[in-house]
Structure 1
Amino acid sequence: MRLIRMRRKVRIKEGFHLEAKRQKERSTLGWVMTFAGTHRGLYAASVAVAAVGVVCGIIPYFIMGDMIHRLVEGDRNWQAYLASGLAMAVFWTARVVFHSISTACSHKATFHVLAQLRRMMCDKLSRVPLGYVKDRPSGTLKNIMMERTDSIETTLAHVLPEFTGNILAPVLVFLYMLTIDWRMALISLITLPLGLLFYSMMMIGYEENYKNVLAKTKTLNDTAVEYINGIEVIKAFGKAKTSYDRFVTAAKEGAACYVDWMRKCNIPFSLGMVVIPCTALTVLPFGGLFVRNGSLAPVDFIMIILLSVGLIQPFITCMSYTDDLGKMGTIIGEVTEILTQEELDRPKEDRARPADHSVTLENVHFAYHDREVLHGVSMEIPSGSVAALVGPSGSGKSTIAKLIASLWDVKEGSVRIGGVDIRDLSLEEYNRRIAYVSQDNYLFDDTIRENIRMGRPGATDGEVEEVARRSGCHDFIMSLEKGYDTVAGGSGGHLSGGERQRIAIARAMLKDAPIVILDEASAYMDPENEAVIQASVARLVQGKTLIVIAHRLSTVSDADRIFVIRDGRVDAAGTHRELLARGGLYSQMWAAHMSVKDQAAEKEKGGELHA
């Protein structure tokens, strides 16, 4: 069985690596088409309509050439000239209309691509191990998913139609110039290679320079997010100047990096922009020479001058797209890095059905990066029982809870529910079986009612309020100005720590999952509220499997089984009385706990006597 699982893991990892390689090797256009889905036709239509618009924009030059010939030959048919002028106006108008249609098509497809990208990144983050998200500053992921992804909209929406036009137009013009005089057609391009040489010099080290700018920008974003999120601590400890200086330093370093890059590009860019448009420097002297020796008709010379003016500008526009495409390539790399992350090893459908709601850990090893924190942990928690995990800070209690909650994957060993390895259960099915409440619970910037309802989206208002009553939330919620319609604020910032935790417990209870994990969920509560919550939890988890992590041993002394965790191992297991009888770490922790309680009682008693 273990061999089969190892092979499956190898195949999954190889699949991710191959997909990552394919994404990196895929061209920018291919990458866009992958996410365009059913909207690929819109991009194709955008290019096709843009091409028609380009042709409409070129036809007036043919008409103009014909008019010049007729004027030189002495044709005085003013009605024909008027008709030609109207035809030119119609074609130029058609060019604008087709360009607008092309841009509309590309924009519609692009907004679909951006929405699809964001949906895929959100879905991916829900399936990767928690460590991937925790190891990255929230500002970095948010920046990639929002600002960075949004910044490719202009490139996607405009490059395809406009690049088509700016490439096709000069090609058609050049072919037309060849029919007039092949020598002048080639002469009109003399400045182009020299300008491209200068431009290529500007692009030397582009990827490295752009990545440096991005790194500085990320540092600035992370510093800003840290400054805002930690403003309470910063003010409390008088660190405003230090934190502000860090932000200013990050801003200055970012600006200096960008300015340094622009300074390197300034000279070659300026030379390129001066040289490329100067077609007149070659067309006029050579054209005049050819007219003088009779090898070029004056009327053709005039036409060449007119065409050469519009020949180079589209190339300049196309070169500006290379900068956009370069930036887009970097953004694609960032998005691909998220989308190709290894997911938790879970099937789409359950491979087996758990017999009950028991929880078993067998020889579990786990490491944060290269540092192993759990060493062969084994424990059995019968279905419908109450188990407690206790131990010193940093012993591995919360890590065990997160492994059971499937927020991480074990490196070795297994976690089983009802005898079935959790890696044989789909994430959706497993999430329905588990309710997890941690010490730091996130509340969304929505009403308290909706934050509780997230436990079971289909719950009625009455069910939400009933579970709030049973969780000890109702009274404090009703004391708020808008009651259940009060907005909790981002992260529940408008509520106290204890209030947030009670709402989180109510949310978990509403979910009515058969397995409930409370990871120090009463840490912020005062003794009175904690007693209420303990009584509420006792009623709400009847018949369920309850796993509790608590720093107050008195709250778990009635557990069916207590596991003492020390240095990533199960140091001892048993009931409260059994562990006290054995002595050891639990006995020491209990003695320390009771000593603290006695001191608190003495202090309270002394205060009453003094009063």
Structure 2
Amino acid sequence: SYANVADRSAEYVRGIPVIKAFAQDKASYGKFADAVKFYHFSTMKWWKQSWLGKALMTAAMMTPQIVSMPFAFYLYGKGEIGIETLLLSLILPISILPQALAIMMSFELFQMASNTWVSIQELLDMPAQKRPDPDKRAAIDNNKGIKFTDVSFSYHDGTEVLHKISFETKPGEVTALVGPSGGGKSTIAKLLAGFWDPASGVISLGGVDTKKIPFHQLAEEISFVSQDNFLFDVSIRDNIRLGKPDASEDEIIRAAKAAHCHEFIMALPGGYETKAGVAGGAMSGGERQRITLARAILKPASTIILDEATAYADPENEALIQEAISHLVKGKNLVIVAHRLNTIKQAHQIILIDKGQIIAKGRHDELLQEPLYASLWRQYLGEE
């Protein structure tokens, strides 16, 4: 009941904009109030069931002190025990009782924590990713691209979400992953970034299996721009510099100009010293995306992964972001997960994915002959 009231409280506070927009204040507050009432009811019922036992237990634990003190003085008065035994009989109960009470309270804490421990144990039981030591750097050939060979993937519940995915990219070319929502596009991007390991098959970068590339080296080679762009609550300069910690001021500004965010940064009161806010909250969605693109442009990585990079952009920002993406292509592997099909019309290779399988590969004009892609294109144009 405590976990339930905590969940309802968080839901009520976070959902205030939706609650107000849809006039659901009574219904939403009703759920929150019901959770509080149930917590009050269950707590009081618990206390009614346990207060007598707890009172008796506390009384029993205090009894040794109540009995030992007069009995010790009685025996000492009769000369049957010495002063050392008397002092010991007075000190021991006082020393033991607080520890006994702490042990009694620990059982209650253990009971409260036991439910949470199940999910913690599930996390701890998940197999750890294994990579070579950081000093054993792999010999990555930047003239070779990305290669997926019969890659399958399952989450920890055993449900397979990717089925024998195979494709290859070339440096300097754009590869786009498209398809219906839930088809596995973002999963492929995260597997390439090394967030997870495939259940079977091989993912290679520059001719080397990613499992044989140390974590730090793989992070150097890959720049990942996710759909939910995250900025730290530090200056915009420091957020961009994450891509290259030792970057000079000129390099930062060049990257910002290439990502078309220099102008709006300079219009801010603090310029590049302006803080981005908690999780980038001081910036709009389009501004956050362009700042993260500047970070990706600055980072000397051989592979760029853009997971729906224009998700929160308006048409003007989308055009600027598309131009910024063109600066990423030169000599690098560029993989784009896209829902807006007009953003990947010029891609060198479009991979159509549905239900964890590759349905077709090719350029935009070629894939228009594929029914699923043609349907997605018509939906984008508003014709279907």
Shorter-normalised TM range: 0.7 to 0.9
Please show how residues 258-297 of structure 1 align to structure 2 within 5 Å.
Answer: 260=46, 263=51, 265-278=53-66, 279-288=68-77, 291=78, 296=79
Cα deviation, 1:371-394, whole Å, max 9, x if unaligned, reads: 322122111112222101111122
1:367 aligns with 2:148: no
How many pairs does the alignment contain?
A: 373
Q: Could you tell me whether the CA contact under 8 Å between 2:360 and 2:370 is conserved in 1?
A: no
Distance in 2 between residues matched to 1:235 and 1:490, nearest whole Å: 24
The residue that corresponds to 2:91 in the other structure is 310
Q: Would the alpha carbon gap of residues 226 and 427 (structure 1) be closer, same or farther in structure 2, given more than 3 Å must change?
A: farther
Q: How does 1:212-291 map to 2 (within 5 A)?
A: 217-251=2-36, 253=38, 260=46, 263=51, 265-278=53-66, 279-288=68-77, 291=78
Q: Which amino acid aligns with 2:21?
A: A
Report deviation, 1:415: 1.4
Corresponding residue number in structure 2 for 1:347 = 132
**Cα deviation 1:287-343 (Å, max 9, x = unaligned):** 55xx2xxxx27xx66765554322310011221342576558969968984666422
**Structure 1, unaligned stretches of length 5 or more?**
1-215, 600-611
Mapping for residues 138-537 of structure 1, pairs under 5 Å: 217-251=2-36, 253=38, 260=46, 263=51, 265-278=53-66, 279-288=68-77, 291=78, 296=79, 305-323=86-104, 327=109, 337=121, 341-349=126-134, 350=136, 352-356=138-142, 357-368=144-155, 369-537=157-325
Letter in 1 for 2:211: R
Larger Rg: 1
Residue matched to 1:585: 372
Q: Is the 8 A contact 1:345 1:409 kept in 2?
A: no
Equivalent-residue separation in structure 1 for 2:271 and 2:52 (angstroms): 60
| Cα distance in structure 2, aligned partners of 1:333 and 1:552 | 42
Percentage of matched positions with identical amino acids = 39
Aligned with 1:277: secondary structure? helix
Q: Secondary structure at the match of 2:172?
A: coil
Counterparts in 2 of 1:463 and 1:376: CA distance versus 1, 3 Å: same
C-alpha change, 1:245 and 1:318, in structure 2 (3 Å) is same
Q: Which has the higher contact order (CA 8 A, sep 6+)?
A: 2
Tell me the alpha carbon deviations over residues 61-90 of structure 1, each in whole angstroms, 9 at most, x when there is no partner.
xxxxxxxxxxxxxxxxxxxxxxxxxxxxxx
The structure-2 alpha-carbon separation of the partners of 1:402 and 1:304, relative to structure 1 and needing over 3 Å to count, comes to: closer
**Structure 1: how far apart are the matches of 2:245 and 2:2?**
39
Q: Would the aligned equivalents of 1:219 and 1:250 in 2 still touch at CA under 8 Å?
A: yes
Matched-pair contact (CA < 8 Å) for 1:377–1:569: yes
Give the TM-score of the pair, scaled to structure 2: 0.85
* Closer/same/farther in 2, CA of residues 461 and 378 from structure 1, 3 Å limit: same
Pairwise CA distance, 1:494: 2.2
Post-superposition offset of 1:243? 4.2
Higher helix fraction: Structure 1 or Structure 2? 1
Q: Which secondary structure state, in structure 1, belongs to the residue aligned with residue 275 of structure 2?
A: coil
Greater per-residue strand proportion:
2
Aligned to 2:356: 568
TM-score normalized with structure 1 length: 0.55
Q: Which residue identity is paired with 2:72?
A: V
CA RMSD of aligned residues (A): 3.1
- Given the superposition, is the C-alpha separation of residues 543 and 527 from structure 1 closer, same or farther in structure 2, using an over 3 Å criterion? same
**SS across alignment from 1:360:** strand
> Residues 437, 531 of structure 1: CA spacing in aligned structure 2 closer, same or farther, 3 A cutoff?
same
Alpha-carbon distance change, 593 to 344 in structure 1, aligned in 2, over 3 angstroms: same
Q: Where does residue 548 of structure 1 map in the other structure?
A: 336
CA distance in 2, matches of 1:462, 1:224: 48
Instruction: Please give the per-residue CA displacement for 1:188-232, whole angstroms capped at 9, x wherever unaligned.
Output: xxxxxxxxxxxxxxxxxxxxxxxxxxxx55555444444444433
